[in-house]
Structure 1
Amino acid sequence: MYVRNNIANGNLKAKHWKHVKLGVCRPSLAEGRMPIPRAMAVKWNPPEHPWLKLNTDGAFSESTGRAGGRGIIRDHSGRLIAAFTAPLDAHSTLEAELLAMHHGLLLAREFAQPIWVESDAAQAISLAKGSGWGPAHSRRAMAHLALHRRYGDFRISFTLREGNKAADLLAKMGLEIEEQTRFNNQTTPRLLKAILRMQEMGIPNIRVCDEDLVVDSIPR
């Protein structure tokens, strides 16, 4: 464009081109495109009245063979009803996730209200929502969940880890303690109280991922 305009204006003449050769250099390979980080807001959403929402998380350590589960029960306003953390007799992360749901449901049944279970364990959610029994090591836990489903007032769904942050906070405690521990508004750890308060106010957590990363891993 610069050359063409200057020729048209008479600024570039034939003498200016003497011994000059023009060419175009084309790269043989296109430059690699770096992934663009994306940020998305993930909120914890309260259930509708009169449902209770149970958020659970399970963990298994291959190095120690220990497993733990935890869960938090809240009402339609986001108010804490109860929370727990407990060691589990599990032999895999999947089994720990399923048993954490079972222990959370046992606690939630005390309040005689319909229960909505939510977890960030996609495989466990898919298995719990389906009709199969899964691998052999998970069938004991699946049998417990099958009994819970007979109540009829039972719902289960997947959430991203950022939407399950309150349950994740109790992760290490479930592996370290020797017996089940139950919390209420007075005995809840301070950091957990802060997270619960933020979620009650509708403040989201931010999930950062690459542009090409599939974040919609919700089980169908």
Structure 2
Amino acid sequence: MRIQEWPSAERPREKLLARGATTLSDAELLALILGSGVRGHDAVGTARRLLNEHGPLHALLEQPPARLLRMRGIGKARACALKAALELAARSQMAELERGSAVTDPPSAGRYLAQKLRGRPHEVFAALFLNSRHGVIGYEELFQGTVDGAEVHPREVVRQALQHNAAAVIVGHNHPSGNAEPSPADRAVTQRLKQALALIDVRLLDHFVIGDGKPVSMAMRGWI
């Protein structure tokens, strides 16, 4: 049965218009981006298959375009639409942070860093530089490493903080393995960063570790 033959209240487009996007499942939202299915499957069925084979949702969306193009049901137009949707979400999150108020909510910064760093094939260490009101004044990817580590130099973080005239910093890095549990090395570099930044009167507000699930906040763990 084609989606057009479904009861009106169950069609993804009508459901979104009547009840809002939050009422749709991952497959239904993905189906709206795909627009149509493949032979023998409607858009929702195609979306469900893609999620079953390549999901969860964030794992599918964060695939590089070349890999998306190899998936049945995703051509150039759909691959571009998926990557554009992900980038729009990241830019929307950044716009929210730039307004300042969102930075007082740690999960907002964690979500933004996750959108930037999750799915990278190697470790990337990044920083959000904040003004005295905790509004974002800059985002920098400072260090890149291997699949299991990145060397972090506190003096470079200090240099960038001075260059941005920052009053506070939030840092984050990804674990390509998907396990977001901070390592002893992660905790040690956090303390080194906190001490180095304190010498120039800049506060380290948080250090997020990005994996497959929710970002882990070291501040929430009481480690900052």
> Normalised by the size of structure 1, how large is the TM-score?
0.29
Query: Which structure has more RCO (C-alpha within 8 Å, separation ≥ 6)?
Result: 1
Q: Which is helix-richer, 1 or 2?
A: 2
> TM-score, normalised on structure 2?
0.29
User: Rg larger in 1 or in 2?
Assistant: 1
